[in-house]
Amino acid sequence: MHETHFQSQFTAAAVLEYLLHFLQKWSKTPWITEHTEKITIACRTSFAFAATLGINWKYSGDTHTLVISGLSAIVIITGLWHVVSQYAMQHAFGGLVRSGNLEKIKAIVQAAVAEAIANQIVPTQVATKQP
């Protein structure tokens, strides 16, 4: 299955917001809390930028080489635009995480996934349908 841009952006937003939430609660990072708004904004912006850069890496065990690619001026400039949308997604997801309604959100997501799965047509069903 190939993820759409929205799916990968949503996943990155969720993972990075949980990381920020963890850092805010962690005793080893007392300077990052829910009450340090500017630091939270800086963290979200940094996370959003990192999520949109598109750095790729490939390790070859045979030759013991690591190739890091994907960084170019075009990628960085395009990434800056995506930072805005990624930051907005993380900010929205952060509101959901902190709202106390996670169980309701989980139920809504589970219902949506179940409906999407129920509405999928399996390729073998398509092949055997009569006109």
Burial 36-75 (b: 16+ CB within 10 A, else e): eeeebeebbeebbbebbbeeeeeeeeeeeeeeeeeeeeee
Measure the CA dihedral 39/41/44/48, to 10°. -130
Least confident of 45-49, 68-72, 125-129: 125-129
Beta bridge mates, 69? 56
- Per-residue pLDDT reduced to its tens digit, 110-129: 887 888 788 776 555 555 55
Q: Which residue has the tokens 């990192």?
A: 50
- pLDDT at site 38: 92
Average pLDDT of the chain, as a whole number = 77
Which H, E and C letters describe 113-128, residue by residue? HHHHHHHCCCHHHHHH
What's residue 111's pLDDT?
83
Q: What is the largest CA-CA distance in the chain?
A: 66
Task: Give the CA angle between residues 89, 94, 96 to the nearest 5°.
Answer: 100
Q: Tens of pLDDT along 21-40?
A: 899 999 998 988 888 889 98
Q: Report which of 58, 54, 68, 73 is spatially closest to residue 12, judged by C-alpha positions.
A: 54
pLDDT confidence tier of residue 91, bands split at 50, 70 and 90? confident
pLDDT for the residue 125: 54
Say what the pTM is. 0.45
